[in-house]
Amino acid sequence: MSDSNNIGTSFFLTGLPGLEAVYTWLSIPLCAMYVASLAGNSLILWVVRSEPSLHQPMYYFLSMLALTDLGLSASTLPTMLTIYMLGLREVAVDMCLAQLFFIHTFSIMESSVLLTMAFDRVVAISNPLRYGTILTSPRIATLGLAIMLRSVGLHIPAPIMLKKLPYCRNRLLSHSYCLHPDVMKLACADTHINSAYGLFVVLSTLGVDAVLIVLSYGLILYTVLSIASKAERLKALNTCVSHLCAMLLSYIPPIGLSMIHRFGKQTFPCSCVLLSYLRCLTAPLLNPIVYTIKTKQI
């Protein structure tokens, strides 16, 4: 009984089920992806900081996106590499709760940055003559501060609420890093409040941001369709391609993962793991590549 009435000292993480024999080999591409992600996002930050011609709103927002991708990669890196390189699956409870806080916080930060980037495109296409006066440096700094306060503030309750729950003997998580719904499922208590809180955070952040981004692109399309020249229309839409790619990479996997956690009763063991990898590995890796290819200045 004592095990079910206290949180214990650790949880156990899961890699890719059935592939334990090749974890060492899998660690090679994983390491390569992390190195490429960290290098790519760091390079974007360095280029934007060192090149005066890039000191513009669009590139400031791109720097924010690179920072959040760095934070997301750094949050998942410790446990991912210990599982695949060292075969260590045990993680202390406090470290697990800290990790899920940072993973979810940086995920919401990324969503918020993508929303501000959509607003940036609306202003640049709909009102180009006032672009510099609307998106001034102080306003961009204020937006950055608001993004940070929103993301941190919404996720402070998560580790506190999870810390208070009693956990069962089975403390096996279904991912290679700690996530709020994953830890919550191991509790031997009523978790309706925790589940409602998690759903509220998802809907009030990813949900609201997605709706506002769709509305932003509605305004963009309305403006673009009013342009007489077909070449100018394509040129205007081309400036949004990078943002659309980043948005798809960031939104589709976490929404799918959240739905699987809450409603998926019969899913393949690897499906959740692969979907979470798609979210936490490919977006930070591919965002710098997409923006480098599509942005001539960079």
- pLDDT tens-digit series, residues 175-188: 888 888 889 888 88
This prediction's pTM? 0.86
- pLDDT tens-digit series, residues 86-123: 888 889 889 999 999 999 999 899 989 999 988 988 88
- pLDDT tens-digit series, residues 46-101: 999 998 888 888 889 989 999 999 999 899 888 888 888 888 888 988 999 999 99
Provide mean pLDDT across the span 261-276: 63
Question: What domains are defined for the chain?
Answer: 2-294 (1.20.1070.10)
Provide mean pLDDT across the span 190-203: 88
In eight-state DSSP terms, residue 206 is: I
Q: Give the 3-state secondary structure of residue 55.
A: coil
Contact 194, 165 (CB under 8 A): yes
DSSP string, 129-198: GGHHHHS-HHHHHHHHHHHHHHHHHHHSHHHHHHHTS-B-S--B-SSSS--HHHHHTTBSS--HHHHHHH
Supply the pLDDT for residue 260: 66
Supply the pLDDT for residue 6: 47
